[in-house]
Structures are given as C-alpha cells and as structure tokens.
Amino acid sequence: MRAPSAAHPFGTDRQGRDLFAAMVAGTPLTLRIGFIAGFLGVGIGAMLGFVSAYYRGTLDAVIRGVVDIGLTVPGLLVLIIIAVSLRRGLTVDQMAIIVASLAWLNPARTIRAQVLSMRERGYVEVARLSGMSGPEIIVKELMPNLLPYLAATLVNSVSAAILASIGLEVLGLGPIDSPTLGMTLYWVNFNAALSRADRDHPGRLSRSLLPHGGPGRDRQPQAAESDLTTDVLSVRDLCVHYDTPLGAVKAADHVTFGLRAGERLGIAGESGSGKSTMALAILRMIKPPGRIAAGEVKLDGVDLMTLSDEEMRRVRLDRIALIPQGSMNALNPVIRIKEQIADALRDHRVRMSARETETRVRELLESVGLRAEVADMFPHELSGGMKQRACIAIAISLSPRVIIADEPTSALDVVVQKQVMETLARVQENLGASVILVGHDMGLMAQFVDRLGVMYAGKLIEVSPVREIFTRPLHPYTRMLIASLPSLEQKGTFRGIPGLIPLLRDLPPGCAFHPRCPQAFDRCLTEEPALLEKHPGGWAACHLT
C-alpha cells in the first residue's frame, strides 16, 4: 500500500503490485465491456426503433410503452439488482450483457424519432413503389442514411456503458478475477479499508468488505465465447377517404375514367383537388389515416384492389410505375444511381449477372438522355433535370404498361421542363406504354397529352380530347383554368380564379364549384351534377351543358 512515487505513479496495492500497471492492463477489458454493451445496445435499439417507426400500429405502441417505462426507472438501480441476483462472480462478457440489458432504451427512442421523419421522404416512397419489402427498405434505404447518426449514438452508448460498468464494479458487483478499471478501484478501496481494519483491530476481517461472490465462494465456470373499360387501365367509382375526428374527408369521390393503350391522359386541377391522391390510390399507396373506401382499378382486366399486398408489390414497377414529384427527395442521397436502379431489378427477381446488370443500367440511363458515367454518381452530384430523368429510368426499368407521372416537372425551370417532357414522350413511345400525367400546368398539358381530365374538390368534372377541351371547354372551371394561363397577346394585370377551393370535409351543397362560378344558377346550389357525355368523347359534370 505504498503511496504514489516516481517508481509507482499510482502507488501499489496490498500485495505490492503497481496500480498504474493494473490500470493499463484493465483498460482493454473495460473497453471490451463498453464496446460489447454499446454494440448490443445500439443494435437492439436500432432494430426495435426501425421496426417501431416503420410498421407503426400495435407493435409501435408496445415497443414505445416498454421504452418509456424502462427510461422512468433508475438504470443503475436496475443493473445492481440484476448483478446481485446472479449471486455468482461475473465474467467480463457477462458484465457487458448486464449493462447492455438497458443500453438499448435510449437508442430505440432516438432512432425511432429519426426513422419517423425519414419514412416520409420521397425516396422511401419510391422504394415502396418499386416493389421493395419493408425489411429491404429499412436495410437499403433507411440504414445508409442513418449510419452517421448510428455512429454518434454508438460512441455515446459505449461511453455510457463504460461508466455504468465502472459504477457496478466499484460496488463489488463486477468480474472479481479480471483487473478492469472498476474492479481495480474496488480492490484499492478494499485493501485500504482492510489495512485500516488490521491497524485498528488486528486479526479481524470484515466479510462485508468482500465483493459479492468474492474469494472463498464457489463460482460457476466461465462459458465458452460464442366503357371507360379500356385495353389497359379502367378506374371505376374510386373513393379515397381520410378519417378525422370531424368525419371522413372525401379526397377522391367516385372517380371514373379509362386509359387506352399508348394514350397520354392528363389529370389537371388546383392544389388540393385530389389529383395526387387519386394517382396514389391507383397504385394502392394510400397511407393511414387515408383509406380506399370503394371502387375498382383494373389493369389489363385484373382488379388491383383485390390483390394481396405481396401481389400488388410485384405489380408496381413491373406493370404500373410512378414517376414521383420532387426528384430531390425521391432518390436516396447516399446510394449511387446504378445501385438504386439495380435494387429495383433485383427486387423483382430479374436474374442478371453483375456485368449484365451494369449493362442494363447504362442502357436505361442512355435511353433517358444521361451519360453512362451517371451510373457511378450520387444524386447530389446531378442537376434537377438529371435527377428527374434518373427517376424516369427507374420507372421504365421493367417496361411497365402504365406510367403515372405525378407533376414530374415541379420546381424545374422551363428549359429543363421541356427536356424532361421530351424524354418522357420518347421513352413512352419506345415502350408503347400509356401515361397518366398529373399536374396543374394547363400549358404543359396542352403540349403533351391526348386527352385531359379536370378534377375539382375530389371529383372528375370534365374529360375531353385535349384539342376539344382547349377550343370548346364544357365546364366553367375548365374555362377559368385555361383563361388563367399567361398570354403574350394579352397584357395587363394577371388574374387567377377568384375564391379558394372548398374544404373537402365541408363541401357546399349542390355543385361544389358554385360559390366561385360566375354562371351559377338556382339548380347549381341544390343539385349535384353528374358526369355525363355531352358530345362524342366529351364528358362534363355541369348543369349549364
């Protein structure tokens, strides 16, 4: 029990052993406990956090409840109870497992919060649409984006585990035969107390100073380490409701239309009219609190509403694909473009060698006007137009029969818009596919689509050939949409459609457009117009016609 000196910087123990040497020998063992407990804690916490946030529902409630309860109990007290209950000397690895038993709680909570925000990102939605299963999305899409966060969480967990293990060891509840840092501290205190006891009461030794399961007690041996029906798509009476405390919001209300082979159909309307909801419902991608309340969607005669989730997952991208709006969020920022395209191919069991896959990826990129070198680039290295064309390449990777393009040129300048739409037109013609273009740009619709449908307040209120709809619009709302387009011939103050689109949970009686319609009359205020054929190929829901 010598005091610190030049020969022994930390002094010596009762047997004359150098305490600095004991600290050097104990540091790797303590780090071992910290790393094992940290990795186990973050691994378990990450798994539960991912599952809880991604799948939600009852499983989320159970995991969240266990975590909340676990975090309200003093952690060190629980670890003391666990260590004491074993009643035997512990090994280093057993000590690590005891510490890890609570080390997963904080990672589970924090990782769940991160995944909740990430699961709403566009690239996760694209992964779902491409047919990837939940576990694949977690591993391939979410995990790479959380690696920096997981690394930081691991560092915190390791340091917390080291402190927790030392806290237990200085109480004599650690691996008594291993010179960890905590046990070194314990034996220093024990020997000091023993020296005082010998000095004050020679020959007497208090057994209470010995560690739990200490020398003289048997221990277990250490374990070894170990009509509107078309050739392609038919949508009939499609209804999508969002459940709220004030009742169901009808975001899509009895939408009915058909899509012919090779046709380009536009769906236009103001924001909030139900266009994107209708498009996602066709793909069965409506998320709670939304639900598909009624209707049928037949693709080549097969009702998509009757398919199982797995069958529908296989249909997406293979038979019907989505080009999402906001390519900035649709592509995973930490995965190269070639891997994101290859993921779609692999998930649909397209069997190719590595060389064949690389060739196919480069062919797809070249078909949308991108250089082959783009395959090895990350999304942040691409311009907005290049990212959108990469999204098109993913959408056409399995040559689908129907392509749904949901505002594919949003946030792009007019020159890039033209390039993207020319790319979409070219690949559509090469595939012989049909296209549904969703958007609010009537000028873009006029240049691209063959037939145009106009939505208002969740309903389809007019469907006509695009030339007819621009020369002979049947519905006042359609006329006002066209009139709101800027013109080089007419100069003056720009005027949009007066008023606002109504709240879908509180629609006015009769025609939903009548509060904004300059031609409304008494019948419009009380009777809802039906979508009827007004002339060959021209349908409208308006009492005026």
Name all domains of the chain by residue range, CATH numbers in brackets. 19-209 (1.10.3720.10), 233-485+496-533 (3.40.50.300)
Residue 39 buriedness (CB in 10 A; 0-12 / 13-18 / 19+): middle
Secondary structure element (H or E) that encloses residue 184, with its range: helix 181-200
Separation in Å, CA 144 to CA 329, 402, 416, 447:
15, 31, 30, 40
Backbone angles phi, psi at 258, to 5 degrees: -130, 160
Mapped onto helix, strand or coil, the DSSP state of residue 485 is coil
State the pairing for strand pair 302-303/290-299.
Answer: antiparallel
Residue type, 188: V
Helix, strand, coil distribution of the chain in percent, nearest 5: 50, 15, 35
Torsion of CA 521, 525, 527, 530, to 10 degrees: 70
Cis bond before residue 289 (omega within 30° of 0): yes
Per-residue tokens: 34: 């910290």
Q: How many CB atoms lie within 10 A of CB 152?
A: 11
Token pair, residue 174, equals 């650690």
Alpha carbons 299 and 522: distance in angstroms, whole number: 41
Task: Output the CA angle 278-282-288, nearest 5 degrees.
Answer: 70
Q: CB-based burial of residue 210 (10 Å sphere; 0-12 exposed, 13-18 middle, 19+ buried)?
A: middle
Structure tokens at 178: 């291993």
Q: What is the length of the chain?
A: 545
The structure tokens listed for 23 are 């600290």
Evaluate whether 282 touches 217 at the Cβ level (below 8 Å).
no
Give per-residue pLDDT as tens, 291-348: 999 999 999 999 999 999 989 999 999 999 999 887 667 888 888 999 999 988 888 8
pLDDT in tens, the chain (545 residues): 778 888 888 888 766 778 888 888 888 888 988 899 889 988 898 888 888 887 888 888 888 888 888 888 777 777 777 777 665 567 888 888 888 888 888 888 888 888 888 877 878 878 877 778 878 888 888 888 888 888 888 898 899 888 888 888 877 777 766 788 888 887 777 667 666 655 555 544 444 444 444 433 333 333 333 344 457 999 999 999 998 888 889 999 999 999 999 999 999 998 889 999 999 999 999 988 899 999 999 999 999 999 999 899 999 999 999 998 876 678 888 889 999 999 888 888 788 888 999 999 999 999 999 999 999 999 989 888 899 999 999 999 999 999 999 988 877 778 888 888 999 999 999 999 999 999 988 888 999 999 999 999 999 999 999 999 999 999 999 999 888 877 666 666 667 788 888 888 889 999 999 999 999 999 999 999 999 998 888 999 999 88
Task: Say which DSSP state 319 is in.
Answer: T
Half-sphere exposure (CA, 13 Å, Cβ side) for 77?
5
Q: Is 389 in contact with 368 (CB distance < 8 Å)?
A: yes
Dist. CA 37–CA 333, nearest whole Å: 31
Strands (E), 416-476: 434-439, 451-456, 459-465
- The token pair at 136 is 């694949």
* Angle between helical axes of 19-55 and 181-200 (0-180°, round to 10): 130
**Token pair in block for residue 207:** 């057994």
Token pair 């497992």 is at which residue? 97
Sheet containing strand 402-406, edge to edge, reads 320-323, 402-406, 434-439, 264-268, 451-456, 459-465, 538-540, 532-535
Q: How high is the pLDDT of residue 82?
A: 76
Distance CA 518, CA 238 (A): 30
Q: How much is the pLDDT for 414?
A: 82
- Give the pLDDT score at 488: 65
Number of Cβ within a 10 Å radius of residue 341: 22
- What stretches of 287-430 adopt beta strand conformation (E)? 290-299, 302-303, 320-323, 402-406
Rounded CA separation 207/201 (Å): 14
pTM: 0.66
Encoded amino acid at 472, one letter: R
Task: List, in sequence order, every beta strand (DSSP E) within 131-278.
Answer: 233-244, 247-259, 264-268
- What confidence score (pLDDT) does residue 332 get? 87
Angle, in degrees to the nearest 10, between helices 75-86 and 92-103: 140
Identity of residue 388: Q
Structure tokens at 184: 């070194």
Please check whether residue 81 is in contact with residue 108, taking contact to mean a CB–CB distance below 8 angstroms: no
Residues near 431 by Cβ (< 8 Å), separated by ≥ 6?
A: 396, 399, 400
Cα–Cα distance, 519 to 51 (Å, whole number):
54
- The predicted pLDDT at position 112 comes to 87
Q: Report the amino acid identity of residue 363.
A: E
SS3 of 80, please? Answer: helix
pLDDT at 302 (0 to 100): 93
In degrees rounded to 5, what are phi and psi of residue 172?
A: 85, 20
Burial environment of residue 207 by CB neighbours within 10 A (0 to 12, 13 to 18, 19 or more):
exposed
| Rounded Cα distance, 248 and 266, in Å | 27
Q: Quick check: 266 and 245 in contact, CB under 8 A?
A: no
Cα distance between residue 127 and residue 17, in whole Å: 61
Strands (E), 364-450: 402-406, 434-439
